[in-house]
Structure 1
Amino acid sequence: MFSQLIERIKKSTYILQILTLMSGTIIAQVLMLAIIPVLTRLYTPEEFGIYSLFLSIVFILGVVASWKYELAIMLPKRDRDAQALVFLSLIITISMVFGISLILLVFHDLLIEHFPEISSIIWLIPIGVLLTGLFQIFTAYSSRHQFYKKIASVKVTNAFTIASVQTMLRYFLNWNGLISGKIIADIVSVSLFVTYHIKKQTLQLKHFSKRRIYYNAKKYDNFPKYQSFTVFLNAISQNLPVLMLTSLFSAEAAGFYALTTRVLQAPVSLVGGSTREVYYQRASRLYANGEDIFALYKKTTLGLLKIFLVPFLVISLFGEDLFRIIFGENWNISGYIAQIMVLWFMLLFINTPSIITFSILGLQKIQMYLEIVSVIMRILSIYAGFYFFDSFIASIVFYTIYSVLFNITLISYIFTKLKFNSTMVLQKGKS
C-alpha cells in the first residue's frame, strides 16, 4: 500500500510540485520554529512587540508594493508579456518605496506620537517594503518557470539567515537583532533570485518594451483596480491586532499576540504557501483553457483540512501548557491566546485555494467589497474589547469570532460558485 502511494506521487506532477515547494518550506519553518524557544529567552515580549509592529507595517505596505501585478505574471501565454509584467512590477515597487519615504518624512512627528515604539526603526520601513515587493515579484516569476527547487532553497536560506543573525547579534553583541536579521535575510534571498534568473536568461533587458508594458498594464488592470485594494485591506485586517494592541494597550500585549500568530502561522506557511503557488499555476492554466477547476479546488481544500485537524485538536486542548514548556514561563499568555485563535487559523489554512480562485475567476471586485466590510468589522471587534472590558484578551476574542465567520463566508461563496460552473460545464458537455 505504501509503495503504491509512492508510485502515485511520482506519477502526479501536481503533487510533486507541491512536495518540492513543501520540502523547502518545511525545512525553513522547522528552522524558524526551532529558534523561537531560543529567541523567547533572549528577547522580551516588548521587544517582540516592536519587531511585530515593524513586520506588520512592512507587510501592509509591501503586499501592494507592485499593485499586485505580480499575480498577473502567471497568466500570459507568451513569456514576453510575463517579462513585461515583471518590469512593470519592478517600476511600480521602486516608485512606491520613494512615495512611502516621502510620506514618512512629512508625517514623521505624527507617526512617532501615535507609535513611539518605531522611532528608532522608522527609516528601515522603506527598505523592508522594497525587499518584500522584490521577493514577491521574483517568487511569482520563478513559479511561472516552475523553478520550484530554487524557490524552496531560497526559503531555506532566508530562514537560516534570519535565525542566525537574530541569535548572534543578541548573544554576542547584546543588540536587538530581530529587525536586522529580517532585513539581511531578505537582501540575501532577493539576490539569490536575481542571480538565478540572470543565469537562466529568463529576464533580459532587451525584452524591455514600453509599448508591451503599457499593453499588459491595461490588460491586467483589474489587479491594481480591485485586487491591490482588496489585498491591502486584507493585510490591514490581518495585522490590525498588532497595530491596535500596541496603540490601545502596550507593545508587550502585541508581543504575546505576535508569538501566538507566529506559531499558528507555521502550518499555514508550511503547506498553504506551497499549495497556493502550485494551485494558482495549475488552476489558472485549466481555467484559461476553458476547463473545470472545481475538482482541483475541492481536492486541495479538503486535503488542507485533513492536514490541520491534528494540530487543531492538540492546541485546543493543551495550548497554554505547551507554550509555557516550550517558550518559557513568561509566554504562557501566548498559549492561552493560541487556544482562542486556533479555529480561525485552521480556516485561514484551508481557505488558500478560495483566495486564489477569486483572482482566477476575475472576482476581484466582490473580494474587495468583502474585505472593506471585514476591515470595518475587525476594527470594531478589537475596539469593543478595549471599550467594554479594557482587556486585550477580550479584543482578541471578538476579533477571532468575526474572523472565523468571515473565512467561512469566503469558502462557502467560492465553493458554491465553482460547483455551479462545474454543473454548467457538464450540461454543455452532454448537449
Structure 2
Amino acid sequence: MLNLVITLRQKTHEVWRSRFVRSVAVVATGTAGAQAITMAFSPLITRLYGPEAYGVQGTFMAILGVAIPVGALAYPIAIVLPRRDEEALGIIQLSAYISVFIAVLLAFGLWMGGEEVVSLLEIESVGNFIYLVPVAMLFASWKQIAQQWLIRKKEFGVIARSALATSGVLNSARALAGFVHPIGAVLIVLATLVEALHTLLMLIGIRKRTTIDRSEPSEALKFSIIKLARRHRDFPLYRAPQIMINAASQSLPVLMLSAFFGPSTAGFYMLSKMVMGMPTTLVGMAVSDVFYARITEASHNNENLSRHILRATGVLAAIGIIPFSIVIFFGPWVFSLVFGPEWNVAGEYARWLAFFFFFNLVNKPSNAAVPILGIQRGLLFYEALSTGGKVAGFLLGVYWLNSDIWAIAMFSIIGIVAYSGVMFWIYFCAVKWDRDAKIT
C-alpha cells in the first residue's frame, strides 16, 4: 500500500513538472477566472435583461460567428507553424492586410444592401446593429493574430490574464448598463467593444513579454507576402471555409429559433449554449491552444503524434463526464435555481446540448492536429457533410415535429455522430503519419 502511495505521488509530481500540463494549467486558470466572473454575474444579468434581450444578442453573435472565419481567411492559424520567427511575422503582416481589406469590403456591402440582408435572414430584431459586424469582425481578426503569436511564443500567461481582465470589464459593464437600459442593443454594443479591449490587452502583453528570435539565418526574407500566401494557401482554401461552415452550423439554431419561435426562444438557447460551452472554453480551448504548440513541436522532433492525441483526448473525456452528466439529469432544476424560474426551458435545451458539447470538448486535440497532418481539405469535406446533417436534423424537428426541443435534440444527436467520426479519422491519419515518419 505504501509503495502504491509513493508511486502515485511520483507520477503526480512528474505530470505537474510537465511543461505541457503547466501551460494548460496557466491558460485554464485564467479562463476559469473569466468564466467564474461570467457565472457570478449571470444570475443578475439574466434577471436584468430577460430572454428576449439575450435572443437579440444571440442573433448578432450568430451572424458575427459566421463572419469571423472570413476576417483573415484563417491565415493567423499558420503563425504557429514556421520554424523561424521572421516567416511568422510575414504571416502576421499578411493576415493584418487581409483583415482590413475584408472588413472594408463587408462594410461597403452592408452599406449597399444591409436592409435586404436583414429582411432575407428575418433578423429585424438586430436591425441597424448589423452594421457593427465588420467592426467586430476586424477586432476579432486582430485578436486571433495576437493570440496565435502568443501561442507561438508560449506566453500562455498573457492569454490567461487578458481573458480574465476582459471578462471582468465586460460583465461589470453589462450589469451597470442593465440597471439603466436593459435591452439587447446594449449587449450588442458591448460585445463589439470587448473584442477591441481583448485585442488591446494582448498587444500590450506582446510588447512587454515577447521577442523575435533572429539567431538563425532566415530564408523567409527571400519570400514576399504573396509567396507566403501561396505557401500557406491551404488555410484560405480549406480551413477558412471549414471554420465558417462549422460556425454556420453552430449559429443556425439561434437564427432559426428566432425566426420560427421568437427571440425569447433564441434567448433560452443562447443561455443554455453559453453554460454548456463553458467546459469547452475553460478546459478545451486551453488544451487546444497549448496542444497546438506542443504537437507542432512534436512533429518537428518526429515524436509519436497519435499517442499525444489519444492521451489529450482521454484527459478531456475524464474531465468532462461529471459536469455534463449533472446537466443531463438535473438541467431544468439547476437553470431554474440559478437563473430564475423563467429560464426552465433553457435547462431542457441544455440536457440535449450536454451530449453535443461533451463530444465537442473531447474533439479539441484532434482538431488541433489537423494543420500539422496536412488534412485540411478532408476536414472541409467532413464539415460540409456534418453541417448538412445537422441542418437536416434541425429542420426535421422544426417542420415535421414542430418542436423546438426535438429540433435541438436532432441537431445534437447528429453532431455527436459527426464528432465521433472525425476523431477516428484524424487519429488514423496520425497513426499513418507516425508510420511514414519511422520509414523516412
Report the counterpart of residue 258 of structure 1 in structure 2: 270
User: Residues of 2 paired with 1:274 and 1:155: CA distance?
Assistant: 11
Name the CA shift for 1:200/1:18 in 2 (closer, same or farther; >3 Å).
Answer: closer
| Secondary structure of the structure 2 residue equivalent to 1:44 | helix
- 1:314 aligned onto 2:323: no
Cα displacement (A) at 1:357: 1.6
Cα displacement (A) at 1:201: 6.5
**Farther off after superposition, 1-10 or 68-77:** 1-10
- 1:11-410 alignment to 2 at 5 Å? 11-113=17-119, 114-174=122-182, 176=184, 177-200=186-209, 202=211, 211-410=223-422
User: Residues of 1 paired with 2:27 and 2:266: CA distance?
Assistant: 31
| 8 Å Cα contact 2:142/2:199 also seen in 1 | yes
Cα displacement (A) at 1:263: 0.3
Identity of paired residues, percent?
25
Report Cα offsets for 1:356-407 as digits up to 9, x if no partner: 1222111011111111112222222221122112222221111111111111
Cα displacement (A) at 1:292: 2.0
| 8 Å Cα contact 1:73/1:85 also seen in 2 | yes
| Secondary structure of the structure 1 residue equivalent to 2:60 | helix
**Farther off after superposition, 339-348 or 178-187:** 178-187
Name the CA shift for 1:287/1:36 in 2 (closer, same or farther; >3 Å).
Answer: same
Report Cα offsets for 1:196-245 as digits up to 9, x if no partner: 333457479xx997943222211111111111111111111111111221
Q: Provide the TM-score with structure 2 as the length reference.
A: 0.92
When the two chains are superposed, the root-mean-square deviation of aligned CA atoms in Å is 2.1
Structure 1 counterpart of 2:62, one-letter code: S
| 8 Å Cα contact 2:85/2:212 also seen in 1 | no
Name the CA shift for 1:191/1:209 in 2 (closer, same or farther; >3 Å).
Answer: farther
Report Cα offsets for 1:262-301 as digits up to 9, x if no partner: 0000000000111111110010121133332111111100
User: Residues of 1 paired with 2:229 and 2:104: CA distance?
Assistant: 21
User: Residues of 2 paired with 1:123 and 1:407: CA distance?
Assistant: 34
User: Residues of 2 paired with 1:379 and 1:7: CA distance?
Assistant: 47
- Which structure 1 residue ranges, 4+ long, deviate > 4 Å from structure 2? 173-176, 200-204, 207-211, 423-426
| 8 Å Cα contact 1:382/1:398 also seen in 2 | yes
| 8 Å Cα contact 1:35/1:163 also seen in 2 | yes
Cα displacement (A) at 1:355: 1.1
Structure 2 counterpart of 1:149, one-letter code: G
Cα displacement (A) at 1:418: 2.2
| 8 Å Cα contact 1:358/1:364 also seen in 2 | yes
Structure 2 counterpart of 1:157, one-letter code: A
Name the CA shift for 1:115/1:421 in 2 (closer, same or farther; >3 Å).
Answer: same
Structure 2 residues not aligned, in runs of 5+: none
Structure 2 counterpart of 1:184, one-letter code: L
| Secondary structure of the structure 2 residue equivalent to 1:76 | coil
Cα displacement (A) at 1:424: 5.2
Q: Provide the TM-score with structure 1 as the length reference.
A: 0.94
Name the CA shift for 1:63/1:423 in 2 (closer, same or farther; >3 Å).
Answer: same
| 8 Å Cα contact 1:320/1:336 also seen in 2 | yes
Structure 1 counterpart of 2:326, one-letter code: V
User: Residues of 1 paired with 2:63 and 2:211: CA distance?
Assistant: 32
| Secondary structure of the structure 1 residue equivalent to 2:78 | helix
Structure 1 residues not aligned, in runs of 5+: none
Name the CA shift for 1:220/1:284 in 2 (closer, same or farther; >3 Å).
Answer: same
Cα displacement (A) at 1:408: 0.8
| 8 Å Cα contact 1:81/1:212 also seen in 2 | no
Report Cα offsets for 1:50-82 as digits up to 9, x if no partner: 101111111111123111111100011110100
| 8 Å Cα contact 1:324/1:330 also seen in 2 | yes
User: Residues of 1 paired with 2:10 and 2:105: CA distance?
Assistant: 56
| 8 Å Cα contact 1:138/1:194 also seen in 2 | yes
User: Residues of 2 paired with 1:105 and 1:248: CA distance?
Assistant: 27
| 8 Å Cα contact 1:230/1:367 also seen in 2 | yes
| 8 Å Cα contact 1:161/1:184 also seen in 2 | no
Report Cα offsets for 1:106-131 as digits up to 9, x if no partner: 22221222211111411211111111
User: Residues of 2 paired with 1:136 and 1:197: CA distance?
Assistant: 13
Report Cα offsets for 1:89-146 as digits up to 9, x if no partner: 1111111111111121222221222211111411211111111111111000111111
Structure 2 counterpart of 1:145, one-letter code: K
